[in-house]
Amino acid sequence: MSSVPFPDPNTNGASEPSELYTSDDQSTNDRNPNPTRSDDRVTVSKTPTQAFDAGRFDQRDVSPQFRARGFEVIRELGRGGMGVVYKARHVLTGEVVALKTLQQMTPAGLLRFKREFRIAANLSHPNLVSLRELVSDGTNWFLTMELVDGGNFLAPDGAFIPTGPAGGDADARLRDQFRQLAFGLAALHAAGILHRDVKPRNVLVTAAGRVVLVDFGLAGEVAEDGHYLSAPGQVTGTVAYMAPEQAIGGALTTAADWYAFGIVLYKALSGDLPYTGTVAEILWAKQRTDPPTHPLRRADLPPDLVSLCLDLLARDPADRPSAEDVVRRLSTPASAADGRGSRQRTELPTRGVSVVGRERHLRSLDDAFAAVRAGRTGCVRVHGPSGAGKSTLIRTFLQRLPADTAITLFGRCYEQELVPFKAFDGVVDSLTQYLVDLPEAQVAALLPRDARALARLFPVFGRAIAVAAVPRGVRDDALDQREVRRRGIAAIRDLFGRLGDRRPVVLCIDDLQWSDADSLIVLEELLRPPDPPRVLILLTYREEDAAGSPILHRVKAFQSVEPTVVVTDLQVAGLSPDEATALVTELLGETGGDRALAIVREAGGNPFYLGELAEAIHDGVTVDGPVSLDRLLWDRSRTLPDEARQALDAVAVAGRPIPPELLREVVGAAGDSHATLSLLRARHLLRVTGVDALVTTYHDRVREAVLAHLPDRRRREWHLRWARVAEAAGEVDSEFLAVHFHRAGESLVAAKYYATAAAAASSVTAFNQAVRLYQAALELGAWPTEQAAALEAARAGALANAGQGLASAEAYLRAAAKDDAHALDWQRRAAAQYLFSGHIDVGLTVLREIAATIGMSMPRAEWVTIAKLFAAKARLWWRGIRFRPRPAGDIPHRVLERIDVCWSAGTSLCVTDYLLGAYFLNRGLLFALKAAEPVRVARFLALESAHVVVIGSAGRGRAQLLRDAATEIAAQFADPYLEALLNLSRGMGDYMTGAFRAALPSLTAAEQVFQTRCTGVTWELDTARTWTMWCLLALGEMKELAARWPRLKEDADDRGDLYARVNLGTYILSSVGTAADEPDQAWDDLHAVMANWSQRRFHIQHHNALLGRLQIHLYRGEYRAAWELVRDREPSYRRSLIWRIQQPRIDHIQFRARCALAAASGQKNPEPLLRSAERDARLLLKESAAWGRALGCLVQACVRRLRSPDSDPAAFADAVQQLEAADLGLFAASARYCQGERTPGRDGQNLRDEALRWLSDQGIRNPLRMIRSHAPAGHTEHD
């Protein structure tokens, strides 16, 4: 016997009479509604290779292309008009396959070649040839398939060849082999496919007697009504075997294939074809006459098989037997009695999946997709118990989407998978494949600006063709890890935005209950307004896991944001009894009845239970009493051959999809053979997933059933085997190794891999994952003290980058306690994390201990702080800033540590407790000048230049002197950090002196350099962004403020950064909230964020919270409450000495004046309040800052208006002029409206309209309420 998949690769040759007939090659028009399905295993290389020489076999001609895919050609097996078939071996796995090439590159030939693969690529049945891979380099094409070591089904003379194990008579073998062919054909039909070319040459038999149906070149799909999807009048197939309706281009059903089956049976029984002659004669005879019966009248032929043969050849398709009938009638009496004749399922599997009871859910998904097509963003939470059919529902919905209407991407989370961003890992793989398949010009247009940062998060994304062509620009490898993470996540949003502009995107993430916190950040970024991408996000998760999952808790909190984001909740519960009965009846058909009712009672409405139990009933398992599905699955797995059972156990223990080559090493070659995997797939125990054909359990319940019954000892053995094989392979991620060594009981080895995995997670900015992995490494390992300290410090760094400042500080302190050599540095970092994250009191305690260690006294009382600060400034003034530079290496480490402690303390406190922060910065500058280390000197000089202007414009000269000195030093070193810090200090100084618009370019430049050319600059980036927000608030640019605020707030929330949350969640929050006409929510959020802030001293954050509360009170019309609040907090404000800083002093005075003005409105005796406002106006007018004087002018105008309603509008006109000159846009618009109220006629109306238009353009939803809060002047008209 020859070892070939078929004798002639051109399977439509003419070795049999009238074998092939096509009408104008219309086979190329066969409809494939999904020509580019995501599950096609297609490999496309952009590198051209040498074309094949069709006339000869030369290893040099074919090897380059095949070796690129890991194949080595052994020999040529056959050659025909369409192509060449080779026997090949995969060089890595050793698997031998048949490799079929396409030689004639015509559109029709290529279409048929690809269809042959795609139509049956996902089929898995012992009696169907298994297709593996379709490969193209853009010019040449080949596919690989199972190499069937067998021979022809029938002899050349048509006689049946009784192949198989010795023993038994020819009749039994004939029945067995035709029954196998029937099983294979029925499985093909169950998948919704017609073969259309069943004939002896397309059936092979192995030496073991296995029958295999091959060649799907003419196969096509069947519609839901059971008819073949083809163009009317199309005639394709082999004339001798085609059914009468097929010969005239009629509508085809599965009966056409059973007719061809009957022809093969006829030939096996008689040795002849029933119809002979020319093509026309055969076609005519099939329409007019029944097949001749005389060749079948031999006495040695079984009458029942003759009867079956003639029934199959009925001219009317409706008169032909069904698959069930064929299998039953092929069974011998003995096989029928012991059940062997129906051991395999025939017609039970249905095409596609059932949606009984899910029609309402599909309509909801259709509505969500329609909203996305209309330009909105959608998110649908699909949740329900395990086995309820969530995944089936989503797959059905996705399959119903026309391919040209949406870009569909699918991802899934796995319980034991510990990859970063696990919910999006598969999505990005799928997205990368989508991009790779596009022309390079289109890919380049779609890629986001920060594509390289995205590739840092998801290395697979580097495969996208145009990524390599993206200019590097800035040094992305020099970026701070958190900045890489931020950019990468922003790039995902950008990329989906570009894709959505091209076509709606449907993104499905299955089993979200096993996701991670890093993935949640990406999800929230995609849904964040304004202008989120045009994408429909489908999230499925188990209901039973929601309660204990913080990830799902946040997902459940997703809300619609009108008018852009629509969030829908879709519960997939169990089926009702009627729906369950309908589903079981659909599955069992006429075999339902009482057994169907028993299944419904047992399954409790769970669709997966229903399907599995229906299969058990169909296969003859008795449902008698309570039946456990887990037990049913376990029992089914125990009936498998040994190699299949071991493969199933191994995959279940692996816990996630695994490469087949790794499975081979774990269970041996037999366990990973294609026959074994095909058997497991056919029995719905395993499945293959992804472009890399990874192996996993068919359903989680299968894995759970196997693990529940697997003895602990055996499970540990599998874990250890997985760990050792993966370790030897050297290609599996460290998380996988850590988990399996851990569960095998090898804790010390596991700890080593957990540590490696943690470092890897940190390197791709998956900080939450790194935290968990470092914790596991610490808990399991027996580390030496210094190594344990280093791991604890690394965990502390991951916590800091993940935004968990409090936990980070505590971890740094634990590390410091274990390693004296690094203790001071880690204590310093701990103090900084406490302070940066807003835990001021404990941070100051640690800082005080550090100060004592380095010989510094840290003042406790405010008056002591002031005294020491002035003393330091005096020393600095007396000493000057000249120094003779020394290299850092020549300076004692202890001296540098003291300088660095001052820097950490000063930067972390300067925007919280200004006096204490300024004290540390001035002491640090003195230490740096004495040590003469130039870089540190320049840093302190740059920051001090911003601090000296807090008293007002009088400090500008000194600030410029300090900044010039820092600039001169920076020029010598070309240090990007110093360049950015100088821009930051310039922007801060401009803001403090009221030059708000002039500050923006400097702050923006600082942010840009920090982002692109610096590392480890979290505080600096936050500071640049926060001060930018304060500038926008002062300018009244509420639209831009509101656009930036959500992202900054979410970033602070994600990091758990109380300091940043308070800076953004007080005065800025109140302004954003009132502009959006949502003061109540802003009030609640402000109180919530301040509840965790230190209450020991009155910090700048307390003052900002006071201003925020006052703004909300004024906006809501709670004027008396505003006045009482500002008076109540006045003593704290005065004691804090914040009033000595010009910028917050001006803000405080103008708010106090506005509260007095508002409270005076409607009072019987408003004069005391008006006098208070008048005093504040005079204070403002005395300020050196123009913006303070402009606000004083507005307060004066409001006082005059309240005292004399008929006052001249000139006072407001003067205020408008000064406010506009100071760039206080919101106050200027409010003053203009007041001016319009006092100006009669059209001129007044124009002024009011102009003011309202300005406010509306800034996104302020209730302009009049905003005007009343900013210019309380007794508005009574035009409301």
Residues 163, 85 share a domain: no
Q: Please name which of 1168, 1170, 1148 lies closest in space to residue 1273, comparing C-alpha atoms.
A: 1170
Q: For the chain, how many structural domains are there in total?
A: 5
* Annotated catalytic residue, options 30, 197, 516, 1022: 197
What's the burial of 629, exposed, middle or buried (CB within 10 Å: 0-12/13-18/19+)? Answer: buried
User: 75: helix, coil or strand?
Assistant: strand
Residues 6+ apart with CB under 8 A from 108: 25, 27, 28
Residues 394, 539 share a domain: yes
Residues 605, 545 share a domain: no
Domain CATH for 201: 1.10.510.10
Q: How many C-beta atoms lie closer than 10 Å to residue 472's C-beta? A: 8
Asked if residue 599 is part of any domain, the answer here is: yes
Asked if residue 265 is part of any domain, the answer here is: yes
pLDDT reported for residue 880: 87
pLDDT reported for residue 1146: 94
Integer angstrom CA distances of residue 139 from 27, 36, 59, 135, 610: 22, 18, 19, 10, 48
Residues 6+ apart with CB under 8 A from 800: 808, 829, 833, 1018
CA distance 1236 to 848: 58
Residues 234, 377 share a domain: no
Q: Which two tokens stand for residue 429?
A: 């793989």
User: 971: helix, coil or strand?
Assistant: helix
Asked if residue 964 is part of any domain, the answer here is: no
Provide the domain limits for residue 1180. Answer: 1142-1270
Amino acid at 49: T
pLDDT reported for residue 68: 59
pLDDT reported for residue 688: 67
Angle at 389 between CA 388 and CA 394, to 5 degrees: 145
Asked if residue 607 is part of any domain, the answer here is: yes
Amino acid at 1106: L
Token pair 């058997």 is found at 679
CA distance 742 to 761: 19
User: 746: helix, coil or strand?
Assistant: coil
Residues 313, 185 share a domain: yes
Where would I find the H helices in 1077-1209? 1079-1090, 1100-1115, 1119-1128, 1130-1136, 1142-1160, 1167-1181, 1186-1203
Residues 6+ apart with CB under 8 A from 752: 777, 781
Residues 310, 453 share a domain: no
Residues 587 and 611 sit within 8 Å (Cβ to Cβ): yes
Residues 703 and 414 sit within 8 Å (Cβ to Cβ): no
Binding site as annotated, residues = 100
Where would I find the H helices in 730-838? 734-743, 747-763, 767-780, 785-801, 805-818, 823-836
Residues 207, 122 share a domain: no
Q: How many C-beta atoms lie closer than 10 Å to residue 563's C-beta? A: 9
- What are the backbone dihedrals phi and psi of residue 592, each rounded to the nearest 5 degrees, phi first? -80, -105
Residues 142, 31 share a domain: yes
Residues 250, 185 share a domain: yes
Q: Which of 98, 121, 151 is the last residue of a domain?
A: 151
Residues 492, 396 share a domain: yes
pLDDT reported for residue 602: 66
Domain CATH for 133: 3.30.200.20
Asked if residue 1096 is part of any domain, the answer here is: no
Asked if residue 1105 is part of any domain, the answer here is: no
- Residue ranges in the chain modelled with pLDDT below 50: 1-60, 107, 138, 164-168, 223-233, 333-353, 416, 465, 467-468, 473-474, 623-626, 690-691, 1276-1279
Per the DSSP assignment, residues forming a β-bridge with 222 are 228
Residues 322, 194 share a domain: yes
Residues 68, 195 share a domain: no
CA distance 413 to 425: 9
Q: Which of 542, 571, 600 is the last residue of a domain?
A: 571
733 as an active site residue: the answer is: no
Binding site as annotated, residues for ATP = 100
Task: Reply yes or no: is the peptide bond before residue 660 cis, omega within 30 of 0.
Answer: no
Domain CATH for 428: 3.40.50.300
Tell me the per-residue pLDDT of 1033-1090, one tens digit each, with 9 for 90 and over.
999 999 999 988 888 888 777 666 777 788 888 889 999 999 999 999 999 999 988 8
Asked if residue 959 is part of any domain, the answer here is: no
Asked if residue 5 is part of any domain, the answer here is: no
Q: Which of 592, 627, 662 is the last residue of a domain?
A: 627
Q: Which two tokens stand for residue 1022?
A: 């936050």
